[in-house]
């Protein structure tokens, strides 16, 4: 029998960081990293709307130090029985808009939405939205777990110092002519 030990991977540190950050952006929703079947959820949570951030895998980038996580963001919801199927769709679209706004924010800017699917109003009074996206590129090698969010690699510093003196034009030689 396999048991869960106390190892916390760099990947998990990134995923937890982004789930927590998204939860702060949508405090009226439930945000977690656990995919739970709708029938096992609390009705109150479904009425609020539940987002689950799920890791699907990763792929390498052109830089050996960086990877891109493949993510699935699943939003599940329930509306009142008296609501119309169109109103289910409206809530699904609102949840999509909330995630899209997070992905466009400074803290969520490493998310890149690839595709979106919804319930097509077919499960009234329940609904869902699935957002397939990439997260990254991220540097997961040598990440200090408590500082995982600070190690999102937006760009690399140039090689400078001993051995690289001739790699760059000295600042004094820059001109304003472009």
Report how far residue 163's alpha carbon sits from residue 151's, in angstroms, rounded to the nearest whole number. Answer: 26
H or E stretch covering 76: strand 66-78
Output the average pLDDT for the chain.
84
Helices in 26-137 by DSSP H: which ranges?
43-48, 85-103
Burial of 33 (0-12, 13-18, 19+ CB in 10 A): middle
Q: pLDDT tens, 10-64? A: 888 899 999 999 999 999 999 999 999 999 999 999 999 999 999 999 999 988 8
> Is the pLDDT at 125 greater than 70, yes or no?
yes
Q: What is the CA radius of gyration of the chain?
A: 21
In which band, very low, low, confident or very high, does the pLDDT at 68 lie, cut at 50, 70 and 90? Answer: very high
- What six digits make up the tokens of 43? 């009705």
Query: How high is the pLDDT of residue 176?
Result: 55
Least confident of 24-28, 61-65, 112-116, 130-134: 61-65
Query: How high is the pLDDT of residue 129?
Result: 98
Predicted model pTM: 0.76
Pairing of strands 30-32, 50-60: parallel
Query: How high is the pLDDT of residue 95?
Result: 98
Query: How high is the pLDDT of residue 159?
Result: 52
- CA-based nearest residue to 91, from 125, 45, 41: 125
SS3 at position 66:
strand
CATH number of 10-173: 3.30.2000.10
């Amino acid at each position: 029998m396999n048991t869960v030990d106390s190892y916390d991977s760099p990947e998990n540190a990134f995923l937890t960081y982004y789930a927590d950050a998204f939860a702060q952006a949508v405090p009226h929703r439930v945000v977690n990293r656990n995919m739970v079947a709708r029938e096992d959820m609390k009705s109150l949570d479904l009425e609020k709307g539940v987002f689950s951030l799920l890791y699907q895998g990763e792929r390498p980038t052109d830089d050996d130090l960086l990877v891109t996580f493949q993510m699935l963001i699943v939003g599940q919801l329930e509306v009142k029985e008296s609501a119309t199927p169109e109103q289910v769709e409206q809530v699904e679209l609102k949840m999509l808009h909330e995630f899209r706004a997070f992905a466009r924010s400074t803290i969520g800017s490493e998310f890149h939405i690839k595709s979106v699917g919804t319930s097509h109003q077919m499960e009234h009074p329940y609904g869902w939205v699935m957002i397939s996206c990439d997260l990254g590129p991220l540097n997961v090698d040598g990440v200090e777990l408590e500082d995982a969010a600070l190690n999102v690699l937006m760009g690399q510093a140039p090689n400078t110092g001993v051995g690289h003196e001739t790699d760059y034009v000295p600042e004094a030689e820059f001109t304003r002519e472009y």
